[in-house]
Amino acid sequence: MRVVCSIAGSDSSAGAGIQADLKSITANGAYAATVITAVTAQNTLGVQGAWPLPLESVNDQIESVFDDLDVAAVKTGMLGGSEMIELVAEQLKSRRPPFVVVDPVMISKTGFALLAEDAASTLRRQLLPLATVVTPNVHEAEALTGLSIKTVDDAQQAGEVLLEAGASAALVKGGHLEGAPATDVLVTADETEVFVGEWIDQRHTHGTGCTYASAIAAQLALGAELRDAIGRSKQYVTEAIRGGLEIGHGVGPTDHFWMTRYD
């Protein structure tokens, strides 16, 4: 059993964050361990509050997980601020897990800031050089690169900038690309590959980014090459979106265990 450790924030409604990561990693065949960086009060209507955990607590969680478990991959999510990013980066430099998937969580679907304004540059400087792959959506890629991203070509250019910042690969997710929704662009030092997906008219998409990145981490941990890990994860998250759950009064979560539903 391969272990994937998610370092991220908690979502009390369990649609995104650590809880989504747990479900996605498990559904993709790996064992999920967690390091919680923050607690949020959150539901399908939005984020009502967020509180970072003490740095000592996060550091000790990382120590506990890595001292005991053989971690094959790490996925990072909500880190909140520069000091937390620096702590996580230092631990990853020391621990050197085989794969690191960086999901640069900056803002919730409903507009709640999950990363301090001054921390994007820290994330770019400290975490990107450690990333096997970084998985920003269009808005996050714009914040990290300073580029305006509207087309597939723009996404490719942004990916190249992220590689220049140190990432080994960049997957710019295209949910907001003009004329190419559900199209993701993978940029590596060797090639650019476009993953054309199915656009599903679905309201309930809470936690999609967390789910996708965690699935990629699990697939890498299980031995898949990067392009195959992304392809399999995209198929998984597409079906999770298709089965979006009508839970609560707002934007419900994706169905992480769609494969267990029977007619």
So which residues are the catalytic ones?
Answer: 173, 205, 207-210
Are 177 and 136 in contact by the 8 Å Cβ rule? The answer is: no
Rounded to 5 degrees, what angle do the CA atoms 148, 150, 154 make? 70
DSSP secondary structure of 31-72: EEEEEEEEEEEEETTEEEEEEEPPHHHHHHHHHHHHHHS-EE
Burial of 80 (0-12, 13-18, 19+ CB in 10 A): buried
In which element (H, E) is residue 99 found?
Answer: strand 99-102
Return the CA Rg of the chain.
17
Q: Provide the β-strand partners of residue 100.
A: 74
- C-alpha dihedral sign at 195, 71, 89, 118: positive
Contacts of 222 (CB under 8 A, 6+ apart): 2, 28, 29, 30
Rounded to 5 degrees, what angle do the CA atoms 237, 142, 151 make? 70
